[in-house]
Amino acid sequence: MVTTNKNILLLTVIFLSFSCSMKSSEELIKPRNTDEFGDFWYDGKAEVSSYELTQARYGELHEGKGVMIFVTEPFSRSSQTKADNPTKDDPNVLKMNFTRKFNTGIYPYSIMTSTFYPVATQEHAFKVSTSIQEWCGHVYMELDKKSDYEITVHSYFEGENNQEIQQDIVHLEDEIWTQIRLDPQELPVGEVEMIPSFAYIRLMHQDIKPYKCKTTLTESADTSAYSMVYSELGRVMTIKFETAFPHKIYSWIDSYESGFGDNKSMLTSSGKLDKSIRVDYWNKNALKDSIYRADLNLEH
């Protein structure tokens, strides 16, 4: 009996020692300010912001409009979609829908990127998708975070259609926007491996892979800036945002070579905040609700 008790005690000590060496799920959770953060992001509304857009394409700059929508919602990891009937296993994400619309000559471009980033844990985005529509055709690209990144591409371009790609988990440029809104102190700083924005990759027909990226965070009392320098791509991307919570996105500049042949030159795409409102836009789909578009300086 004494031997049995000693064995039990020994096993208990071993178990406790092993348990203490493991991080619990609670320890992996990044706490958010329940008053300030919760009151803002869980008020049943989304933040919708319009931007004056200048977009490089075909070696020229085109004027247009950008819109960013940030909203929290439950996310189903099993289906990789918004959870319509959420359970305790469906984490909350901060979703960003980012649209850019501009015209190139006779025909229009429409670009949309959706990013689903976990609110509670310091992980990478669960999902990123980008679609591009213009009169020549359309393109769709999706990344799902599993044990690695599973990426699918569908395109009207020959040689780019029906791709299935696997990549190691690294930083994503498309998740930087949501990281800024959650906590800029969590942004990666220094030289990192980063997959550039899907919109850039598709517009410029670049390989879907991580690139070395030198990142810097410059803070001041009112406005901070986060820069990403891709030396291999000859591209510099900088986002300016409100230093204080809720870290609203003020502007961005994106410099790289655009165009073909003699028409190729270094150009800078940019976006500058125009108007911002908080609204439950999913309930504002009647004709009378078009007044909200006027509030955002968006065309009908």
Which pLDDT band holds residue 71 (cuts at 50, 70, 90)?
very high
Residue 103 lies in a domain: yes
Q: How far apart (Å, rounded) are the C-alpha atoms in residues 176 and 226?
A: 9
Which positions ≥6 away from 93 have C-beta within 8 Å? 72, 73, 74, 75, 116, 117, 118, 119, 126
Residue 227: pLDDT over 50:
yes
Asked if residue 30 lies in contact with residue 6, where contact means CB atoms within 8 angstroms, the answer is no
User: pLDDT above 90 covers what percent of the chain?
Assistant: 76
Asked if residue 192 lies in contact with residue 213, where contact means CB atoms within 8 angstroms, the answer is yes
Where helices occur in the chain by DSSP H, the ranges are: 2-21, 36-41, 173-182, 198-204, 291-295
Instruction: List C-alpha distances in Å: 279 to 41, 44, 65, 93, 247.
Output: 12, 8, 19, 18, 18
pLDDT recorded at residue 34:
62
Q: Out of 32-36, 94-98, 219-223, pick the least confident.
A: 32-36
What integer is the mean pLDDT of 194-205? 96
Q: Out of 139-148, 157-166, 237-246, pick the least confident.
A: 157-166
Residue 26: pLDDT over 60:
no
Q: Out of 78-87, 125-134, 144-153, 193-202, pick the least confident.
A: 78-87
Triad 248, 288, 45: Cα angle to 5°: 30
Residue 188 lies in a domain: yes
pLDDT recorded at residue 159:
82
Largest CA distance in the chain: 90
Q: Quote the mean pLDDT of the chain.
A: 89
Domain residues for the domain of 208 are 30-109+171-295
Residue 189 lies in a domain: yes
Residue 135 lies in a domain: no
What is the number of domains present in the chain? Answer: 1
Residue 257: pLDDT over 80:
yes
Which positions ≥6 away from 179 have C-beta within 8 Å? 117, 186, 187
Which pLDDT band holds residue 10 (cuts at 50, 70, 90)?
very low
The encoded tokens of residue 274 equal: 């125009």
Residue 137 lies in a domain: no
pLDDT recorded at residue 32:
63
Residue 244: pLDDT over 50:
yes
* pTM exceeds cut of 0.85: yes
The residue to which tokens 């819109």 are assigned: 67
pLDDT recorded at residue 3:
45
Residue 97 lies in a domain: yes
